[in-house]
Amino acid sequence: MAGVFIRAIYEVYVFALFCVVISLCLVGIGFLILPFMLNWMKFNAEAERNTARHRAGVEVIGGYKPVEGGKYSINPRKSLARLGDSLVLRDILWHFVNVFVGTFLGILPISLFLSGVWGIALMMGQHYFAPLFDVDPGGPHYMFLDMSTPNAYWYAGILGIIQIPLAFIIARPLLKAYGYWVQPVLGRPSELVLRERISHLTDTRNDALDFQQDEISRIERDLHDGVQAHLVSMGMTLNEVAALMKEDPERAQQMLSQAQNSSVTALQELRGLVRGIRPPLLADRGLNEAVRSLCASTSVPTTFTSTLTGRLPEPLETALYFAAAELVTNAVKHANAQNITVSITQGKSLIMLEVQDDGTGGIPQDALGSKASGGLEGVRRRLATFDGEMFVSSPAEGPTSVRTIVPYAAPTAEQNS
């Protein structure tokens, strides 16, 4: 709780500096400092949210709006636009009001502890402290004890012994209370989160329906242009064979060979179509083996590591496999990479797929978004169906790292049974 107290005092000084910066904005100078001031307050607020989450066990929902032009942009219009984010306004409010609540909650156990230490010190060193209290008999007190009365030093020691453990006992409930204080002030309103969640689910559902329709159209097109054409050709050839069996057996034999070749080609294309839907190796052996085989067949040296244990649900396995295939293909075709690393990491509540390469970077920022149509956006849309997120790091000189995170909690033994 000492940290809570110190931060509360520190944050009120930050708020005072913010007021100075706002005043300087009237003459234009403040706009040069405002982005850094907002980032400073955001950093403090995130520290408070993490304290509530990890130490108090209280979930605080954050999530700032994207900053146009970068978070250090000194454009006055963009800096003022950041103030339109309700979470930024909450950060500012927090730096003003927390000095009252945070100071009280933080100083209470500290005061108890120091008071307890002082009580024990009085008892242990009564011969040294007695002259101090004898200056004004009946006036000086330790808590409610009149130190001029007999045995007062012993009572002070007993109170001190009680207060020290009490300070540690109440620290945990006070930290919990602090977390519940952080939640409404620095957290986003639950109604807003719910509305955004509904909007997100609506968008991902529409994306999933569009993606499914695109896949169906692709399959229909491939069947029509490929397999169906070969089967029709084979049927026509067999009809001609039936007519030529008696008149020209040698010609009929040649046409039978053509029909056989058409059937082999149709079967190969059908197998390729099936692999495009769900590769047999993925269905039989799982995601690890399928991605390992994918890496082994890549023209660029590709390293594969995985901590995944067991199988995932089929739709999720398929989505992650094709995400890996697309990201590796991008690295080979566009990055001129010499080495590629693919890793799958299974956490307690997530699956992370990461593809890194040492090639040229510079993936444009608009490669992801509703208006984008490239391979990365296709991967994002495919994984968004599972509430997945994608993070891209691609400086102009490289290297490039694309990380996808999908929420997933492995079933427990009780659920399996």
pLDDT in tens, 153-176: 777 788 888 888 998 898 888 888
286: left (phi over 0), alpha (psi -120 to 50) or beta: left
Look at 65-74, 186-195, 321-330 and tell me which has the smallest mean pLDDT.
65-74
Give the tokens for residue 351: 């699956």
Sort 273 into a burial class: Cβ within 10 Å, 0-12 / 13-18 / 19+: middle
Flag the least confident range among 23-37, 104-118, 121-135, 274-288: 121-135
Query: Class of the 192-277 domain?
Result: mainly alpha
Residue 139 has pLDDT above 60, yes or no: no
| pTM, full prediction | 0.53
User: 341 pLDDT band (50/70/90 cuts)?
Assistant: very high
Residue 215 scores a pLDDT above 70: no
Second CATH level (architecture) for the domain 284-416:
2-Layer Sandwich (3.30)
Say if residues 328 and 296 touch (Cβ distance below 8 Å): no
Pairing of strands 302-306, 340-346: parallel
**Res 355: pLDDT:** 92
Quick: pLDDT tens for 182-210: 888 888 766 666 676 677 677 767 766 67
Q: What pLDDT band is residue 13 in, cutting at 50, 70 and 90? A: confident
pLDDT band at 134 (very low <50, low <70, confident <90, very high): low
Domains of the chain: which residue ranges? 2-186, 192-277, 284-416
Structure tokens at 374: 């490239």
Mean pLDDT of the chain: 78
Lowest average pLDDT, out of 34-48, 66-80, 99-113, 390-404, goes to 66-80
| Residue 318, pLDDT score | 86
Whether 343 shows a pLDDT value over 90: the answer reads yes
Q: Name residues whose C-beta falls within 8 Å of residue 397's C-beta, 6 or more positions apart in sequence.
A: 360, 361
Residues 6+ apart with CB under 8 A from 189: 86
| Residue 304 pLDDT | 93
pLDDT at 135 over 80: no
The percent of residues above 90 in pLDDT, for the chain, comes to: 4
- Does position 282 have pLDDT exceeding 70, yes or no? yes
pLDDT score for 28:
80
Confidence tier at 136 by pLDDT (50, 70, 90)? very low
